[in-house]
Amino acid sequence: MIPLGPYFRQLLGQLLFELVQFRAPRGDQFQQLGILASPEVHAYLGSPCPRDELERDMPEVPERWPGSFVVDLDGAMIGQILLRRATAHRRPAAVGKVDLGYLFLPRVWGCGYAAEACAAALAWLADALPGEPVVLTTQTANVGSMRLATKLGFTEVERYEAWGAEQWLGMRSPVALSD
């Protein structure tokens, strides 16, 4: 069993199955729309999708796949974490590596939930794929994200220009962390 923090819920395998049984997915969808349609959340990510388009295209039951996590606080979704293999990254150093992404509702920013939940997701990954390095890309202007990345143990690989802004590619090496 993966150690999970009190605010973290794993949407995977048996746990996911149980969760879907216990809770109506609609509640999560509402919160998810709040994240995906929020201009504040997307300040450094490009424009959010229009809410009506999201509502139209969002599946009734959320997609489930290993590495897709919902962060839950008191029974409501407050954020999402994605661990995906970057098969087509702009930067060669990141291609083929596991990529961490995170999105939280603005009302919980600065409370420490993102750090706790991301650490739990990375612990899950270390268990599922031991020794796997993880990459993360964020705008350098995204101070909260930069701070979170550093706190999680990511170190700079390179900075580069894309989408009209300076981007930061960081990597978290399990070898370095266990030294």
Ligand X SMILES: CC(C)(COP(=O)(O)OP(=O)(O)OC[C@H]1O[C@@H](n2cnc3c(N)ncnc32)[C@H](O)[C@@H]1OP(=O)(O)O)[C@@H](O)C(=O)NCCC(=O)NCCS
Residues found near ligand X in the complex (CB under 6 A): 41, 44-45, 101-104, 108-115, 138, 142-145, 147-148, 151
CB of 21 to ligand X, least distance (A): 29
CB of 13 or CB of 46, closer to ligand X: 46
CB of 96 to ligand X, least distance (A): 19
> Cα–Cα distance between 79 and 98 in angstroms, integer?
19
CB of 168 to ligand X, least distance (A): 10
> Cα–Cα distance between 28 and 14 in angstroms, integer?
18
41: left (phi over 0), alpha (psi -120 to 50) or beta: alpha
Is 95 within 8 Å of 86 (Cβ atoms)? yes
Phi, psi of 31 (to 5 degrees): -65, -40
CB of 116 to ligand X, least distance (A): 7
CB of 28 to ligand X, least distance (A): 17
Task: Read off the tokens for 112.
Answer: 């420490």
CB of 110 or CB of 130, closer to ligand X: 110
CB of 11 or CB of 120, closer to ligand X: 120
Is 81 within 8 Å of 136 (Cβ atoms)? no
> Cα–Cα distance between 105 and 84 in angstroms, integer?
21
Would you give the end-to-end CA distance of the chain in angstroms? Answer: 24
CB of 61 or CB of 95, closer to ligand X: 95
> Cα–Cα distance between 75 and 23 in angstroms, integer?
9
* Minimal CB distance residue for ligand X: 144
CB of 102 or CB of 124, closer to ligand X: 102
